[in-house]
Structure 1
Amino acid sequence: MTKCASCNKQWTGILLFKAHFASERGVECDYCHEKQYVSEKSKRRMLIPMLLVTAMLLIGLFAPPSVTQYFWVYITITAVTIIFMYVSLELTNVPPENQRN
């Protein structure tokens, strides 16, 4: 699971959810109160699973073999992608504009 870059404490699922949607602004750690940002490496790593979920959705819209089969395949791939994203998320203390330098 993801840990704070400052205090090395494991983050809860709610904090990780916030971190995904506030990656540019950062999220304050509940333990040490340092602002944490999603690392650039982590953002790049999340791109492929998100593209896979999007591709599966588009394939299902245009050529569904069976609605029930497609639904369960899509739900499984989406769940695996979300788990992967939360397990592989890396945090940093450096704001995004300074990470690129």
Structure 2
Amino acid sequence: MTKCATCKKQWTGILLFKAHFASANGVECDYCHNTQYVSEKSKKKMIIPLLLVTVVLLIGLFAPPSITQYFWVYITITAATIIYVYVSLELTDVA
């Protein structure tokens, strides 16, 4: 799980959510109150899973085997991607 780069405390899901969407401005750590930013390495690792979700969505639009099957496959891949992104998120205290 993601930890603060300064105090090494594990972040909660809400802080991770904030960090993901406010990566340019940074997010203040609840424990040490230092501003943390999403690392460049972490931003690059997020691109591949998000592209995978987009490709699966596009494939389903053009050749759906069945709406129900496609729905569950898409939901599963999307959930796995979200979990991967939050587990692999790395923080830095340098903007």
TM-score, length-scaled by structure 2: 0.99
2:53 match: secondary structure? helix
User: What residue is the counterpart of 2:68 in the other structure?
Assistant: 68
Distance, in Å, in 1 between the alignment partners of 2:85 and 2:62 is: 27
User: What residue is the counterpart of 1:44 in the other structure?
Assistant: 44
Distance, in Å, in 2 between the alignment partners of 1:78 and 1:38 is: 21
Amino acid at match of 2:8: N
Consecutive unaligned residues of structure 1, counting only runs of 5 or more, are 96-101
Distance, in Å, in 1 between the alignment partners of 2:30 and 2:62 is: 45
User: What residue is the counterpart of 1:54 in the other structure?
Assistant: 54
1:64 match: secondary structure? coil
- 2:32 equivalent to 1:3: no
User: What residue is the counterpart of 1:24 in the other structure?
Assistant: 24
The alpha-carbon deviation at position 61 of structure 1 amounts to 1.0
- 2:82 equivalent to 1:82: yes
Alignment RMSD, CA only? Answer: 0.4
TM-score, length-scaled by structure 1: 0.93
The alpha-carbon deviation at position 2 of structure 1 amounts to 0.1
Distance, in Å, in 2 between the alignment partners of 1:55 and 1:34 is: 38
Deviations 1:34-89 (A, max 9, x none): 00000000000010000000111111111111000000000000000000001000
Paired residues, number = 95
Consecutive unaligned residues of structure 2, counting only runs of 5 or more, are none
Amino acid at match of 2:51: L
Amino acid at match of 1:26: G
Query: Taking every aligned residue pair, what percent have the same amino acid on both sides?
Result: 81
1:68 match: secondary structure? helix
